[in-house]
Amino acid sequence: MLENLTPEETEAIKELEQRMKGDVPSKMLEDVSLFYRFLKARDFNLKDAELMMRKHIQWYKANGIEDILVNYQPPEVLVKYVPNDFVGFDKEGCPVRYCAIGNTDYKGIFKAVKFTELTKYVSLTIEHDLERLKSQSKKLGKLLTQIVYIYDFDQMTLAKATNKSTLELLLQGLKLYQDNCPERLKAVYIINASLYFTIFFSVIKTILARDLIRKIRVFGTEGWKEKLLEEIDEDVLPAFLGGTRTDPDGNPLCNTFINHGYPVPEKYFFKSSEKSLSQVPGIKKLMVTRFSSVDMTFDVGEPGTVIEWEFETKSRDIGFGLFYQESTKEEIAEVIPKQRIDTSMEPELGMFKCDKVGRYIMVFDNSYSWLHPKEIYCRATLVNPKDQETRSA
């Protein structure tokens, strides 16, 4: 990868490193392919690559990715019912994951966790694979940077392929992957694809980059076992995927390390609750009409101040993000990437520590809605460092 760079590409990498000096978290800098990957994803356009990287750093910090392997404990429902399992390494040493997507109970999962929680869990699996890439690179004496995915569409139904909520959330997830994991994808093998996959993929591919689409190989019920064995050793590949690997008891389904997807029990579902914030004294009511957004601004005069917020919508979801502006003459920067949040089950609570003084802008965005205005009940406060110490005493 980095051995065959042109002089122009080498110069672009040096320039991007210089532009980003002091802004990149230390753990990200451990990745020697970092600047190359972002430039490659933007056809070595320096301006576009820098913008992409700065947005990624904001997302990386906002979601606690640097310490996620140590500090994040995923909910039991995700561990048990989201099939996204590490199989082993392909013949070149890249991690391979298997997902029984056709048998996944996405409706049940989204009744049990918020999209942000699912995103964090997927981010955790990616970080585990990045650690594996580091170890394999050291072990094999060559740089490895990419991951292989096998998506099994067996048992995909029309209801799953056309479910609006599932498709919307998967689209958001794919966009997050594209924006934050450039050039991490080595190959995607779609197996057991049927007519329902065609319906599903016609929606999903609208947001996929051309380079990513070229890495997707689609198979029906035949031909994929032979292809997988070209890329993955038979003693690594589970028997049900065409290899020879089984559980210790000889089970070809490899249930000891492969989750084949199961219905999510109702005991994990959110409990519906009465809307409560509208009755709280001092709550602020915001009306966000369709195709519009509403801002709340906070002037922070002391580094280390924390913004705390709590809000709920009367119905449906709302886009939410936090932005920073050092002064009225400066450009506005995104510090918490905008995302759609559903508070139908419980209010959304959050906090952000402000490292810089200046103006912070909380945005409630309904620009995507063609039909529905949104009624929001919100309260937000600033907590200065001294008051934080009093709380923790």
Three-state SS sequence of the chain: CCCCCCHHHHHHHHHHHHHCCCCCCCCHHHCCCHHHHHHHHCCCCHHHHHHHHHHHHHHHHHCCHHHHHHHCCCCHHHHHHCCCEEEEECCCCCEEEEECHHHCCHHHHHHHCCHHHHHHHHHHHHHHHHHHHHHHHHHHCCCCCCEEEEEECCCCCHHHHHCHHHHHHHHHHHHHHHHHCCCCEEEEEEECCCHHHHHHHHHHHHHCCHHHHCCEEECCCCCHHHHHHHHCCCCCCEHHHCCCECCCCCCCCCCCCCCCCCCCCHHHCCCCCCCCHHHCCCCEEEEECCCCEEEEEEEECCCCEEEEEEEEECCCEEEEEEEEECCCCCCCEEEEEEEEEECCCCCEEEEEEECCCEEEEEEEECCCCCCCCEEEEEEEEEECHHHHHHHHC
**What pLDDT is attached to residue 263?**
95
**What pLDDT is attached to residue 41?**
95
**What pLDDT is attached to residue 392?**
45
Domain 67-268 has CATH 3.40.50.300: no
**What pLDDT is attached to residue 11?**
97
**What pLDDT is attached to residue 198?**
83
**What pLDDT is attached to residue 275?**
54
Sign of the torsion angle spanned by Cα atoms 74, 333, 306, 339: negative
**What pLDDT is attached to residue 104?**
93
**What pLDDT is attached to residue 331?**
87
Per-residue pLDDT for the chain (393 aa), expressed as one digit of tens each?
677 899 999 999 999 999 999 999 999 999 999 999 999 999 999 999 999 999 999 999 988 999 999 999 999 999 999 999 999 999 999 999 999 999 999 889 988 998 888 889 999 999 999 999 999 999 999 999 999 999 999 999 877 777 766 777 777 788 889 999 999 999 999 999 988 888 788 778 878 899 999 999 999 999 999 999 999 999 999 999 999 999 999 999 999 999 999 999 999 998 765 557 777 888 999 999 999 999 999 999 999 898 999 999 887 889 999 999 988 778 899 888 888 888 866 788 888 888 899 999 999 999 988 888 999 999 999 988 888 666 544
Domain range summary for the chain, segments of one domain joined by +? 7-63, 67-268, 277-390
Q: Do the domains 67-268 and 277-390 sit in the same CATH topology, yes or no?
A: no
| Rounded-to-integer distance, Cα 363 and Cα 356, Å | 19
**What pLDDT is attached to residue 213?**
93
**What pLDDT is attached to residue 389?**
61
CATH class of the 277-390 domain in this structure: mainly beta
**What pLDDT is attached to residue 153?**
94
